[in-house]
Amino acid sequence: MPRPQQKTNKPVIEAEALSLEDWLSHVLVPENERNYQIVDYQFPTDRHRDEYLDGIHGRSESQVRKLLRGFLVPSGTLGIDHVTRRWVCGLDSGERDRLVEETEFFRRLIEPPFLPWDGVTWILDLLPDYPTKALDVLDGFFIAHCQTLPDGRMHGLSDSEAIIRRRYLQCDNPRESLLSLRPGEFEYLIGALFERMDYRVVVTKASRDGGVDVEARRDEPGGRAVVLVQCKRYESVVRVHAVRELMGVVARRQANKGIVVATCSFTSSARQEASENEMIELIDFVSLNKLLNKHFGSKWPERIHYEIRRLQAGAARPHP
């Protein structure tokens, strides 16, 4: 069992037979207030998981965090640790010493105070603003501990990742949050986005942009790139003229790529033109929303003015 084994006379509730809402009503009760035992470290079945994910955007932030707190591995001990400890202690001294020397988990397992798990509940502090970093932590934790994690806890980590992806990376935000920006503010926001994507950025002056609003560069060996970005804060559609204009600038500047980022969609002729030129990429509002969710968190409409001011303050100054 993933929980520390304790003698208890509390009855066990068969979670698999419960509806989603009945199960939630039991697991969201603080553990020290329960007079029952129930699976609370993972969704009981795929049915429970799928139903919860389908309706996750109607759930409160408090409930989502409580559920994640139960699914994530806590610091301390888990119920199966005494079995693993007995196995390690039964090894010959040379093999045991090797395990302890090479693996922190086994060192913590057999040395006082016998608390083998450095938990990951702290990733809740990365949400909602940094969901991709939270997922990176879970991925690394799983790689480091997959040989020692109980099955239930592995399922719980998988369920946690599914919750984070659906709640914080697949969230539909209102387009009006971007349309309310002035054109120059939108350009700085896109500059801040590319900065989060590990580019050095320069936002150009409107009177001297040469058809480019943001220049994004990478200088790493083997990954050097110059990307020229046009920002279109439009309510309707971006037409093929904008794509052809950017193609000319990319060719003239000998850049690696040109990207049109828009708050709307593109005409079919614009998409066709881009599809025939590998150096041109189109990012419509749907794709832009996904990028903003990924790099600024699902509540990015609340952060955009901070990101704009931060970049305007000097992280990337306009060309003179």
Query: What is the largest distance, in Å, between two alpha-carbon atoms of the chain?
Result: 77
pLDDT truncated to tens, each residue of the chain (320 aa)? 334 445 568 999 999 999 999 999 999 999 999 999 999 999 999 999 999 999 999 999 999 999 999 999 999 999 889 999 999 999 999 999 999 999 999 999 999 999 999 999 999 999 999 999 999 999 999 999 999 999 999 999 999 999 999 999 999 999 999 999 999 999 999 999 999 999 999 999 865 556 899 999 999 888 899 999 999 999 999 999 999 999 999 999 999 999 999 999 999 999 999 999 999 999 999 999 999 999 999 999 999 999 999 999 874 444 33
Given 109, 138, 169, the domain boundary residue is 169
Do 150 and 180 belong together in one domain?
no
pLDDT at res. 215: 97
Do 197 and 220 belong together in one domain?
yes
Total structural domains in the chain?
Answer: 2
Question: 90 in a domain, yes or no?
Answer: no
Question: 102 in a domain, yes or no?
Answer: no
Residue 227 contacts residue 259 (beta carbons within 8 Å) = yes
Given 169, 202, 235, the domain boundary residue is 169
- What is the 3 state secondary structure string of 237-248? EECHHHHHHHHH
pLDDT at res. 236: 95
pLDDT at res. 210: 64
Do 72 and 206 belong together in one domain?
no
Do 164 and 181 belong together in one domain?
no
Given 169, 186, 213, the domain boundary residue is 169
Do 157 and 62 belong together in one domain?
yes
Question: 281 in a domain, yes or no?
Answer: yes
Question: 246 in a domain, yes or no?
Answer: yes
Please state, in angstroms and rounded to a whole number, the distance separating the CA atoms of residues 208 and 271.
Answer: 27
Question: 207 in a domain, yes or no?
Answer: yes
Pairing of strands 225-232, 214-218: antiparallel
Please state, in angstroms and rounded to a whole number, the distance separating the CA atoms of residues 114 and 78.
Answer: 11
Do 164 and 190 belong together in one domain?
no
pLDDT at res. 97: 94
Question: 84 in a domain, yes or no?
Answer: no
Please state, in angstroms and rounded to a whole number, the distance separating the CA atoms of residues 184 and 308.
Answer: 10
Do 180 and 164 belong together in one domain?
no
**Residue ranges making up the domain that contains 148:** 15-78+117-169
pLDDT at res. 319: 39
Q: Nearest-CA neighbor of 159 among 6, 13, 23, 299?
A: 23
pLDDT at res. 211: 80
Please state, in angstroms and rounded to a whole number, the distance separating the CA atoms of residues 122 and 39.
Answer: 22
Phi/psi of residue 201, each to 5°?
-120, 150
Question: 93 in a domain, yes or no?
Answer: no
pLDDT at res. 208: 54
Question: 103 in a domain, yes or no?
Answer: no
Provide the terminal-to-terminal Cα distance of the chain, rounded to the nearest Å.
64
Please state, in angstroms and rounded to a whole number, the distance separating the CA atoms of residues 146 and 155.
Answer: 11
Do 23 and 151 belong together in one domain?
yes
